[in-house]
Amino acid sequence: MGTRKGAFILTSDGARKRWKVSGPHFAGWEIYHIKGSPVNPDRVYASQTSAWFGQIIQRSDNGGKTWNPPGTKPEDLMTPEGTPKGESNMFAYDASPETGKPLTTHQWYDGTQHPWEFKRVWHLEPSLDNPDHVYAGVEDAALFESKDGGKSWDELAGLRGSDTGPKWQPGAGGMCLHTILIDPGNPKRISIAISAAGAFRTDDGGKSWKPINRGLHSQFIPDPTAEVGHCVHRMALHPSRPNTLFMQKHWDVMRTDDAGDSWKEVSGNLPTDFGFPIDVHAHEPETIYVVPIKSDSEHYPLKGRLRVYRSRTGGNDWEALTKGLPQRNCYVNVLRDAMSVDSLEPCGVYFGTTGGQVYASADAGDNWKPIVRDLPAVLSVEVQTLS
């Protein structure tokens, strides 16, 4: 898990009753995200960041026991002068005319155009077939990839160059690319989401992109059905149905069954359809989870009751999951990358809060217990199910 003050690793056996907590790793630094490679769980990437010292990429090759910034060992990439390049934390926006339209500005809060400025890596998504190939979603919004285990990064510039870039604008949390979904059956198809620009898809491995926001309705922008400008908070898919994506938008829970070509609202009977995370059950592709939050100006649960809502019908019909969760005086938030599921049977569901609690359910959400209660604010939660 990533928190405002370091990373923590929570470990349990298949029963998921007793947990060992280790950390903080990278103490004092913001850890936006940690994620392991699906083909080599010992390969784990971490985004370590600081307002003082900028972005660091860390990599572990032994499941998190030890870490190194890739590309900084003497035997790693060398310059002609014979010194290590140390470029694992260099995210340079592509400005070359050969690789796309070199966009230099996006829309700023006051409506003027503003230069793109790299701030941090929000999300790391290892590829599905190569542990050295990993994608990074960054703020200001762009998609980068590394094919050498994080030693160096190149922008997939076709995304910012897809005509709509100058219309993108930051949300309150910054203009971040926070979701990267790779189609398991066709790795050249990748869907991403940006706050507050919307969702985009490539079908050619990142060369060209198109907005996939038809059906979204956002009352906070002048044209509620505009091509871009939607504040998408999170998207999720089940690997067995890659054309079905679920979305938690600023307001509204949405789904698409045609890979984003059209969306429909599935908020149904949710008490509020504002929220941040959304995730899908590991074994039931129509079972999804959200954490409703009162409103965009009150980032805490409705009536101080922390409730996960589960739909077993792919949306519209939702049930509140409350057992083991605080049902009074709870005013935490659950951030967009702070929910995850394991692949055990029954499916485990996990989420972390801005109050530093991490809750786990070993029965698909029916019952919850806190694994740990007093960590720094939780930014992200990922699960590795190890055999």
Partner 1 sequence: MIRVVLPPHLRTLARVNGELELEVNTPVSQRSVLDALEAQYPMLRGTVRDHITNLRRPMVRFFACGEDLSHESPDAQLPEAIATGSEPFLIIGAIAGG
What residue ranges bind partner 1 (CB under 8 A)? 27-29, 50-56, 69, 71-72, 83-87, 89-90, 92, 118
Rounded to whole angstroms, the Cα distance separating 165 from 148 reads: 28
Q: 116 vs 309, which CB is nearer to partner 1? A: 116
Q: Which is nearer to partner 1, 82 or 97 (CB)?
A: 82
Nearer to partner 1, 71 or 352 (CB): 71
Beta bridge partners of 197: none
The two tokens of residue 302 are 């409705």
Which lies closer to partner 1 via its Cβ, residue 68 or residue 130? 68
Q: How far is the CB of 196 from partner 1 (least distance, A)?
A: 25
Residue 58's region, left for phi above 0, alpha for psi from -120 to 50, else beta, is beta
Shortest Cβ 53–partner 1 spacing (Å): 4
State in angstroms the smallest separation of the CB of 11 from partner 1.
23
CA nearest 308: which of 286, 327, 282? Answer: 327
Q: How far is the CB of 337 from partner 1 (least distance, A)?
A: 21
The upper half-sphere exposure of residue 367, i.e. CA atoms within 13 Å in the direction of its Cβ, equals 5
Q: Which helix (H) or strand (E) holds 136?
A: strand 134-139
Shortest gap between Cβ of 143 and partner 1 (angstroms)? 18
The least CB distance from residue 73 to partner 1, in Å, is 9
Task: Evaluate the CA torsion angle 65, 66, 71, 73 in order and state its sign.
Answer: negative
Q: Tell me whether residue 48 or residue 361 sits nearer to partner 1 (CB atom).
A: 48
Is 337 in contact with 122 (CB distance < 8 Å)?
A: yes
User: What is the C-alpha separation between 67 and 45, in angstroms, rounded?
Assistant: 9
* Of 90 and 344, CB closest to partner 1: 90
